[in-house]
Structure 1
Amino acid sequence: MPLDHQGPLGRLRRGHEELVLRLLRTHGPLSRGELGRLSGLSRTTLYDIVAALADGGAVVGTTPVPAERRRGRPVETLTLHPDAGQAIGIDFARRAVHVAAVNVAHEVIGSSSQAHAADLGWEDRVDLAERLVAGLAGGTLRLGALSGIGVGVVGPVDDVPPDDTPLARPALADLPLLLRKRFGVPVLLDNNTRLAALAEATWGAAAGVQDVLYLRLSYGVGGGLVVGGALHRGAHGLSGEFGHITAEPEGRRCSCGKDGCLETVASIGAVLDAYGTAADLPAFLAALPHDPAAARVLDTVGTRIGTVLAAVCNAIGPDVTVLGGELAAAGPSLFHPVERALLAHLMPISRSRADLRAAALGEAGGALGAIALVLHESPLLARYPAPDSLE
């Protein structure tokens, strides 16, 4: 009798398959013994799962070359099959499109970016993404082998932006269908800042960490949560809106309609307004080493950020907190007041466990996170619509 993939045993088996694939993605080639120790699976279960993945072409076994062998029987190692599938990540940022492609072994096939006008329509953005993808790896990318496309967009994915913005609901709702028709594979859509959180937990500053809080300080302020190694989207796709936590109850009106949101204090525009001298962020950052006024602005901003982060940390208890975005380039001038306020407002029992890190992936985070979204859902894309439902 065929296995019911939707039943309890089917879901358990999928979980075991995804665990083995995730360990191989994270650690690279592993022996069966190493996989057993890392996975906690019994020998019988592990061998059954590995055999099924090998039969399906997702995993291949290799033995050391003669020069690398030691005495005794050579130990076979298992690795993801580089040709078993490919994934594309596309980040539709406010003023640019970023694309990247990897194979299932986490080998980057290529990446590319191109800036565009902020009011460019979705059809033109997708055309641009398609051209960038076609040029990856010197034009050798085999689109027919793609197993999925991850896509990041600006703003709450489940929200309805004003009709006069390029992210208006009708166009955004049609984006997965448009990409599905262009590339012929399942499309996974999420907020690009939230995807950057997943990227940092997969390849970046918090690689391998199961519970991660990520805050991005850019022209907007947002973030994401990775909980138990998986991206947390929330009931309606609205998690990670840390920029709209109140930082100053009597503060400025935010674009969301509330007063005193963290975004009104810690966005790039708010920082430049508070400083009042620099015309842009590079000028402000250049002034930091010799201008006490610039340092005072960041001290105040960092204190507000750390206070908000402490509230979130007290609620969810992450292993690592990652701070990214263009403003994070300020370095210690920002990180020191953030950490000081974070420690001051954390519960005393949590202070020794606090771990604040700088993001490592820069502007590539959104596209890499989109790829990570596909790889984390691989091989079955079980929690998303079947390909036929996207046609």
Structure 2
Amino acid sequence: MTQRRRQTRNSIYHYLYETREFCSKQSLARDLRLSLPTVYQHLTELMEEGLVHYSGEQQSTGGRKAMGLEIVADARYAIGVSVTETRLRFVAADLRLGEMAYRKVHHPSVAEMENFGDFLTRELERFIDDNALDRDRLLGVGIALPAVIAPDESRRITLAPTLHLRDVELQRLMGTIPYPLYIENDATSGGYAEWFTHWQGRDIAYLLLETGVGGAILVNGGQYRGVNHRSGEFGHMCVEPGGLPCKCGKRGCLEAYCSPSRVSDDLGISLKEFFDGLERHVPEYETLWYDLLRHLAIGVNNIRMALDCDVVLGGFLTEFLPPYMPLLKEYVAAGNTFEPSADYLHLSNLRRHTVPLGVALHFIKEFLETI
């Protein structure tokens, strides 16, 4: 296939991928400035490959009705796996990042499991089998880790505080997965998924609130990584000198104050139980929660001061945040020297499973670029 022909094919597929409205052969030809025979030829090939299909007829006041076209979203899929200290989250995502299947698996502490990689491989195969996923359509498997990964070719985890790991070979966690494999930091994965689905054309700082607290900086659609691939480690900026101990070994980190594990560690209850208690105005819960919000506001304000861009909050804690966003924004605005409001602070549009979806997105984006 010539380069020009490949570019035409790519432009047709991307047009269909990006449109959410009715699209016909005629509108494709008009908007892409292509001849109808050229559009027809490429569509025929894409249909034969199972990548595009007819989606229905357009309403007509007379004459022959135009047939709609759309991509086949599940023609290919990728799997994303989020690894935390005591659980795995598997997501199978179609080409539009829609969830095809999900599973959560609990396990002992990663640091205490000698054969964690084998365990991960077995659970991955079980996830594929139990959900009848077609391996021939699988683009690859992305693994998201709450870890600083060495920027060189050593394939090592430099530090993973919530996993209690330091200077460990990645292979120890990966096992013998027999599919194309991609490994990335969890917050980087979540941030990119958020940007890809809702923020294209704008720069964002993404703050992930999960078992650990991390982040990512997305500029012009790419991640700013920093010299040591440690950019966006917002969880380990100090918000309270000499404050609560953090799993990284320091004191006063944002993660020590704003991680959801603070609820389970300090109170020994689940997030749902905690927020149910907040609604009943349990004094102990309210004290912890408002302290968490005030320190979160300090962290958000620091990010805004340093980067001067929109700040997006993601991770499973954000599922419970909507009722408290006005108060959080009030705290943030009170600490901002330059702005009277905190309209730059947003909740993630992808509240659930953002991290595994984001790491699966690596293979989807790769497919879209090479089709």
Select the residue among 318, 328, 332 that pairs with 1:338.
Answer: 328
TM-fit CA distance, 1:18 = 8.1
Q: Percent identity?
A: 22
Greater strand content: 2
- 2:117–2:176 Cα contact (<8 Å) kept: no
- Map 1:268-287; keep pairs closer than 5 Å: 268-270=260-262, 278-282=267-271, 283-287=273-277
TM-fit CA distance, 1:153 = 1.9
- Determine the C-alpha separation between the residues in 1 that align with 2:226 and 2:327: 30
- Determine the C-alpha separation between the residues in 1 that align with 2:29 and 2:174: 38
TM-fit CA distance, 1:123 = 1.5
- 2:117–2:175 Cα contact (<8 Å) kept: no
Alignment correspondent of 2:158: 160
- Determine the C-alpha separation between the residues in 1 that align with 2:305 and 2:12: 29
TM-fit CA distance, 1:189 = 1.4
Counterpart amino acid of 1:71? G
Q: Say yes or no: does 1:196 pair with 2:190.
A: yes
- Determine the C-alpha separation between the residues in 2 that align with 1:230 and 1:300: 34
- Map 1:355-374; keep pairs closer than 5 Å: 355-357=345-347, 360-362=350-352, 364-374=353-363
- 1:25–1:104 Cα contact (<8 Å) kept: no
Give the 3 Å change call, closer, same or farther, for CA 171–19 of structure 1 in structure 2.
farther
Alignment correspondent of 2:14: 21
Q: Say yes or no: does 1:241 pair with 2:233.
A: yes
- Determine the C-alpha separation between the residues in 1 that align with 2:43 and 2:331: 48
TM-fit CA distance, 1:341 = 2.6
- 2:314–2:347 Cα contact (<8 Å) kept: yes
Unmatched tracts of structure 1, length 5 or more: 4-8, 383-391
Q: Say yes or no: does 1:187 pair with 2:187.
A: no
Alignment correspondent of 1:379: 368
Give the 3 Å change call, closer, same or farther, for CA 360–102 of structure 1 in structure 2.
closer
Counterpart amino acid of 2:187? T
- Determine the C-alpha separation between the residues in 1 that align with 2:301 and 2:28: 36
Select the residue among 286, 299, 314 that pairs with 1:295.
Answer: 286
Unmatched tracts of structure 2, length 5 or more: 151-156
Question: What SS class does the counterpart of residue 158 from structure 2 fall into?
Answer: coil
Question: What SS class does the counterpart of residue 149 from structure 2 fall into?
Answer: coil
Counterpart amino acid of 2:85? R
TM-fit CA distance, 1:207 = 6.8
- Determine the C-alpha separation between the residues in 1 that align with 2:107 and 2:78: 24
Q: CA RMSD in A?
A: 4.3
Q: Say yes or no: does 1:86 pair with 2:77.
A: yes
Select the residue among 259, 262, 278 that pairs with 2:251.
Answer: 259
Q: What is the TM-score normalised by the length of structure 2?
A: 0.75
Q: CA deviation digits over 1:87-145, x for unaligned, max 9?
A: 22222232222222233354543222221222331111221122112211xx2x22022
- Determine the C-alpha separation between the residues in 1 that align with 2:226 and 2:62: 53
Q: CA deviation digits over 1:195-242, x for unaligned, max 9?
A: 233334456xx4767444332333321233444445555554433311
Counterpart amino acid of 1:161? L
- Determine the C-alpha separation between the residues in 1 that align with 2:159 and 2:216: 20
Q: Say yes or no: does 1:96 pair with 2:87.
A: yes
Counterpart amino acid of 2:365? H
Select the residue among 110, 128, 134 that pairs with 2:129.
Answer: 134
Q: What is the TM-score normalised by the length of structure 1?
A: 0.72
Alignment correspondent of 1:388: none
Alignment correspondent of 2:33: 43
- Determine the C-alpha separation between the residues in 1 that align with 2:12 and 2:222: 12
Question: What SS class does the counterpart of residue 247 from structure 2 fall into?
Answer: coil
TM-fit CA distance, 1:247 = 0.7
- 1:328–1:358 Cα contact (<8 Å) kept: no
Corresponding residue pairs, total: 356
Question: What SS class does the counterpart of residue 312 from structure 2 fall into?
Answer: strand
Question: What SS class does the counterpart of residue 170 from structure 2 fall into?
Answer: helix
- Determine the C-alpha separation between the residues in 2 that align with 1:103 and 1:308: 34
- 2:204–2:218 Cα contact (<8 Å) kept: yes
